[in-house]
Amino acid sequence: MPINPSHAQDVWKDVGEHVQFTVLQLNRQDPQHDREVFQEFADRSQAIIRSLRIRDAKPETGTQLKVSIGISSSAWDYLFPDAPKPRELETYTTLHGPKYSMPATAGDLFFHIRASNEAVVYECQTQFQRVLAPITSVLDETKGFRYFEGRAIIGFIDGTEAPAIEDAADYALVGEEDPQFINGSYAFAQKWQHDMPIWEHMTTGDQEKAVGREKFSDFELDDDDKFKNAHNVASKYEIDGVEQKIVRMNVPYAQPAVGNIGTYFIGYARHWTVTKGMLQNMVDQGDFLLTFSKLLSGQVFFIPSRDLLAQIADDDF
């Protein structure tokens, strides 16, 4: 069976106007009960999404609600101990470089919800919690937003290196190499906190050398004009000389009055090993963005296809 994007969850580049990332931890008090609740959630979540898309639909634009639901490796082992497992799903462990690290944090269930209406995001997560709250605890809840022109909070165009929408499926979705999990995706979620005064005191020219692109036009600089650890240099990952790509988004979040400003990075990939290779390059080369940032979280999740969610709901997995 070939890759079919219509069977996948929403693992595409569309930051949305209003965004919420939520990470839950299973309380792990009763495995059989928890499995039954999650099966109910696998069924109800899709009905909730369909209902909200109807309620939110506009004649001129339709609905803008997009949702991805992910499961960590440890949660997979707990909920489905006798079932097969996605080939590349593992528990993320801290990546170390000469100067910087990318820490691993806990998390069992992951939600990436975005819409043009904050009320829709609110209602979606609220209804999800009506099912899951009795068996989970909240580890993190981060609200993101669309910055000017869809730029990252540091002022640069986001996602230029991500594949175009017409090409994204081959980079984002598991294929026939793991047929039981076809149309699923590996999501890496990572929360960055930036020391914005450091960044804002840099000249525009130095910021461009740090990112590797012109700030206004997004035109890529020549390699000789970039810092050696420019972001688009350090995050580049190749296999046999061929650059590898994932679907990635940088979503701003902020509490500006207290200076809590950062980026929630989400990357969807056909192969977790590709994302992992990019991250390792970033710490090995000391990506310039790490010089004024603190990493608060990091975890990998598997995003099942909608078909697999239906199988889970029917206890046919």
Q: Which residues are catalytic?
A: 158
Phi, psi at 116, each rounded to 5°:
-85, -10
| Alpha carbon distances (Å) from 194 to 43, 151, 152, 198, 280 | 38, 15, 12, 9, 20
Quickly count: other Cβ atoms within 10 Å of residue 105's Cβ.
17
- For the range 158-162, what are the long-range contacts, defined as Cβ-Cβ under 8 Å and sequence gap of 24 or more? 158/15, 158/249, 158/250, 159/13, 159/248, 159/249, 159/250, 160/213, 160/218, 160/220, 161/232, 161/235, 161/236, 161/245, 161/248, 162/13, 162/245, 162/246, 162/247, 162/248, 162/249
